[in-house]
Amino acid sequence: MSQELRKDNIDKNETGSVEAKTGTKAASHLQKVLEAGHFSVTAEIGPPMSANADFVRNKARELLGLVDAANITDNQTAVVRMSSIAAAYLVQQEGLEAVVQMTCRDRNRIAIQSDLLGAYALGLKNVLCLSGDHQSFGNHPESKNVYDIDSIQLINALRGMKEEKVFINGKSIKTPPEFFIGATANPFADPEELQFIRFVKKIRAGARFIQTQAIYDVERFARWMEKVRKEGLHEKAFILAGILVNKSLKSIEMTKMVAGMAVPDIFIERMARAASQEEEGVKIALELIDEIRKIEGVKGIHIMAVGWESIVPVIIERAGFLPRPAV
Amino acid sequence: MIVAEQKPVEEIIRYLDKFNKIAVAACGTCVTVCMAGGEKEALTLASALRIKRLEQERPLEVKVVTPKRQCDIEFLDDIAHEIGDCEAILSLGCGAGVQFMAEKFKEKPVLPGLNTKFMGVTRDVGIWTEMCQGCGDCILEKTGGVCPVTRCSKSNFNGPCGGSSNGKCEINPGIDCGWQLIYDRLKALGMLENLYEIMPPKDWRSSRDGGPRKVEKKEVVL
């Protein structure tokens, strides 16, 4: 990547960083980018399985100026990691805006609301609401789960805090958190009709941006988007399409095995035949981005490169996403 | 019914170590149906315990008693005379039965012979599955008679998580996705509109979260 481009972006992001640090009431940077009509680019930072703050800071620096915000995962795959809120705070100290992921697996409504009051007080403004991977997948399968509320109830609770200035119990909050509320959607999970109803409910509950499951089957995604447009949902929430970058044949084969993933065989074959699987993985991601961004109603791309975060800057530059807008 | 399964004999024999004469108490209701703690299982277990102790050259005297239910005091009164001079009681009742026996026979240790699993049904011969968690506030009228609290691994109230695949739950392909079952049933009944309702957070006070529970039917309380 050209140094000038990166520097230019860092400079433009400086104002955003000050705002992030001071926790003013203004909209999040991501929200502003989207509302200004720009095509957003987000990526992910997985906090470390340790108390290493520098690890998080370095990851943030690698993405600074390249993305509009970075999701900070919440003990993903139910493996114990640094808290998403703490890591998000570290990320914002570096000037990069964070999207705090919040799952319903580990906290009851008391802890969730308390943690989110704290998050907002620390200047974190975006929250992505999720059910959370079941603890049986993680490294503490012996643990008790919570699921006091589900992800739709969480979205609704955050909307209630913001719009009605009340807690889940209906009691008023003097200084409510006013998050830019996000949710996930999986256009490929079944049963299709029920998953769509659930997606509609998330938007009705108050989700203003939607990050989708990783897309490989563009045709199927385009059909899903057609339905989204027909219902006018793309005007109620910003649809950010998920892209996963695979490093190897093994990686894409494992992706295919994940529940709710639709990976056409052609991509597996291409990876198997490729002289350089890494380059092929990048090419596939770039082709998908190129096709997906043309679909009406898609307002951004969310890049997930689990275990290969170093490729994200390459993808962003080669996809022509730079410079990022200053808003 | 309450579904239970017998503990391994090796575990039971360990905590019976200091006794020479015990009573094995079967229970004639739920655990008889789920083949964990009925009279038949009690007799088989008693033989196994005797043999194990004979192998150790420390014979164990075992008597089997079968109250109709361990969770009703009148049936425990019925077996009091049979317990007699036993040093301990091994209860093959559910957790409620074990505790009620312990309340009744205060002077004797009452030990559990089963692990109590759940409230469920006989799915097939020898197969029982969980259906109810006793959350205290039933919503089955909204969900087509399929319980999301029990049958969704995450107790989701507003539809499936992203891990529903081909009708199965991501945590175990042997488990049906509860929300797929709800959807199939509501679709068949022409009641899919139920799924559009945003279900509010549940009041868990009616469940275990409100502390140990008590039901009082005022008109019959003496």
One digit per residue, the tens of pLDDT, for chain A of length 327 reads 445 555 555 444 444 444 444 445 689 999 999 999 999 999 999 999 999 999 999 999 999 999 999 999 999 999 999 999 999 999 999 999 999 999 999 999 999 999 999 999 999 999 999 999 999 999 999 999 999 999 999 999 999 999 999 999 999 999 999 999 999 999 998 889 999 999 999 999 999 999 999 999 999 999 999 999 999 999 999 999 999 999 999 999 999 988 888 999 999 999 999 999 999 999 999 999 999 999 999 999 999 998 898 999 999 999 999 999 999
Q: Are B95 and B176 within one domain?
A: no
- B205 neighbourhood in chain A, CB within 8 Å: none
Q: What domain count does chain B have? A: 2
B16 and B108 inside one domain: yes
State both tokens at A26: 């203004």
Say how many C-beta atoms besides its own lie within 10 A of residue A11's C-beta.
12
**Who's near A157: CB < 8 A, 6+ residues apart?**
A109, A112, A113, A149, A167, A168, B201
Are B64 and B106 part of one and the same domain?
Answer: yes
A184 lies within 8 A of chain B by CB? yes
Q: Which residues of A touch B161 (CB under 8 A)?
A: 131, 151
Residue with tokens 């997930």, as numbered in its chain: A304
Q: B111 and B21 in one domain? A: yes
CATH number at residue A270: 3.20.20.220
pLDDT value, residue A22: 46
Q: Does a structural domain hold residue B127?
A: no
**Whose CA is closest to A151, among A131, A133, A167?**
A131
B178 touches chain A (CB under 8 A): no
User: Is B125 part of a structural domain of the chain?
Assistant: no
Between helix A192-205 and helix A151-159 the angle, nearest 10°, is 20
Report the gap between the CA of A187 and the closest CA in chain B (Å).
10
Chain B interface includes A212 (CB < 8 A): no
Closest CA to A177 of A162, A164, A167, A156: A162
Are residues B53 and B151 both part of a single domain?
A: no
Q: In chain B, how long is the greatest CA-to-CA distance?
A: 69
Q: Does the beta carbon of A192 lie under 8 angstroms from any beta carbon of chain B? A: no
Are B114 and B153 in the same domain? no
Question: Is residue A46 included in any domain, yes or no?
Answer: yes
Residues B60, B61, B66, B67: what is their CA dihedral angle, to the nearest 10 degrees?
A: -100
Same domain as B100, residue B13:
yes
Within-domain flag for B216: no
* Domain end marker among B118, B145, B176: B118
Supply φ then ψ for residue A40, to 5 degrees. Answer: -85, 155
Pairing mode, if any, of strands B168-169 and B172-176?
Answer: antiparallel
Q: Are residues B154 and B58 in the same domain?
A: no
Give the integer Cα–Cα distance in Å for B103 and A27.
62
Beta-bridged to residue B118, according to DSSP, are B3
- B166 vs A137: CB contact, 8 Å cut-off? no
Question: Measuring CA to CA, which residue among A163, A261, A244, A148 is closest to residue A208?
Answer: A163
Domain containing B85 — which CATH number? 3.40.50.2300
The answer to whether residue B183 neighbours chain A at the CB level (below 8 Å) is: yes
- Number of structural domains, chain A? 1
Are B195 and A197 an interchain contact pair (Cβ–Cβ within 8 Å)? yes
Is the separation of the CB atoms in A271 and A246 below 8 Å?
Answer: yes
**Main-chain dihedrals φ then ψ at residue A61, nearest 5 degrees:** -65, -35
- The range of the structural domain enclosing residue B146 comes to 133-209
Question: Do B74 and B98 fall within a single domain?
Answer: yes
Q: How many CB pairs under 8 A join A and B?
A: 98
Q: Which residues of A touch B199 (CB under 8 A)?
A: 152-153
Is B195 touching A (CB cutoff 8 A)?
Answer: yes
Contacts of A198 in chain B (CB under 8 A): 158-160
Helix and strand element counts for chain B (H, E): 7, 9
B107, B23: one domain:
yes
- Per the domain annotation, does A326 fall within a domain? no
Residues of chain B with pLDDT under 70: none
* B chain contacts of residue A187, beta-carbon cutoff 8 Å: none
Q: How many CB atoms lie within 10 A of CB A313?
A: 18
Same-domain status, B8 and B110: yes
Q: Which residues of A touch B153 (CB under 8 A)?
A: 134
A286-296 as b/e, with b when 16 or more CB fall inside 10 Å?
Answer: bebbeebbebe
| Residue spans of alpha helices (H) in A64-205 | 84-93, 109-121, 151-159, 192-205
Range of the domain at A101: 3-318
Q: Provide the token pair at B81.
A: 């005379």
Flag whether B40 is in a domain.
Answer: yes
Output the pLDDT for position A232. Answer: 98
Q: Is A157 on the interface with B (CB under 8 A)?
A: yes
Please indicate whether, in this complex, the C-beta atoms of A193 and B183 are within 8 angstroms of each other. Answer: yes
Answer yes or no: do B146 and B112 share one domain: no
Domain's final residue, options B118, B147, B162: B118
pLDDT at position A18: 43
Task: Report if residue A91 sits inside a domain.
Answer: yes
Closest CB from B160, B180, B200 relative to A198: B160
Residue B165 in contact with residue A259, Cβ under 8 Å? yes
CA distance B66 to chain A (A): 36
Does residue A63 sit in helix, strand or coil? helix
- Dihedral of the CA atoms A193, A197, A198, A199 (nearest 10)? 100
Residue that is last in its domain, among B70, B85, B118 = B118
Does residue B98 sit within a domain?
Answer: yes
- Calculate how close chain A gets to B194, using CA atoms only, in Å: 11
